[in-house]
Copies of this chain bind each other. A is one copy, B any other.
Amino acid sequence: MRRMEDKVDLASALASFDEAFSPRIVARMNDLKIAVVKTRGEFVWHSHDDTDDFFLVLKGRLRIELRDRDDIELEEGQLYVVPRGVEHRPVADDEAHVLLIEPMGTANTGDAGGELAAEERWI
């Protein structure tokens, strides 16, 4: 677990693991976890009733599919905040690296659970 006193190099953090859809927490800010994740392929449809969901693409492209709305196509340096309660599915045709911000304790698969549900892990 990284000490709060340290700075975080996002590229180094991302280079330290390869598993897809397995977020790694790199820092804490107030009650939030700051995490990096590698996305490959389709995640599960899910929503979070009690929090917005922050995505910033650091590398590659990420498509955030939304029910009943146009998809959001994110490239490097682009961010999107999925409003709470909105069902969404992150999809990366190729690998993408993404910065995530969520309250501590938020499940990555939201209301959906399932085999892609990941424990909260620090880098």
Give the dominant DSSP class at A's interface.
strand
Are B80 and A8 interface neighbours, CB within 8 A? Answer: yes
Cβ < 8 Å to B, chain A residues 34-49 = 34
Are B74 and A4 interface neighbours, CB within 8 A? Answer: no
Copy total for this chain:
2
Least Cβ–Cβ distance between A8 and chain B, in angstroms = 5
Instruction: Count A interface residues, CB 8 Å.
Output: 33
Least Cβ–Cβ distance between A38 and chain B, in angstroms = 15
Are A78 and B8 interface neighbours, CB within 8 A? Answer: yes
Chain B residues contacting A54 (CB-CB under 8 Å) are 27, 29, 34
Chain B residue with Cβ nearest A5: B69
Chain B residues contacting A80 (CB-CB under 8 Å) are 7-8, 27
Are B34 and A77 interface neighbours, CB within 8 A? Answer: no
Least Cβ–Cβ distance between A14 and chain B, in angstroms = 10
Q: Chain A interface (Cβ within 8 Å of chain B)?
A: 4-5, 7-11, 26-30, 32, 34, 51-52, 54, 56, 58, 69, 72-74, 77-81, 83-84, 99, 101, 103
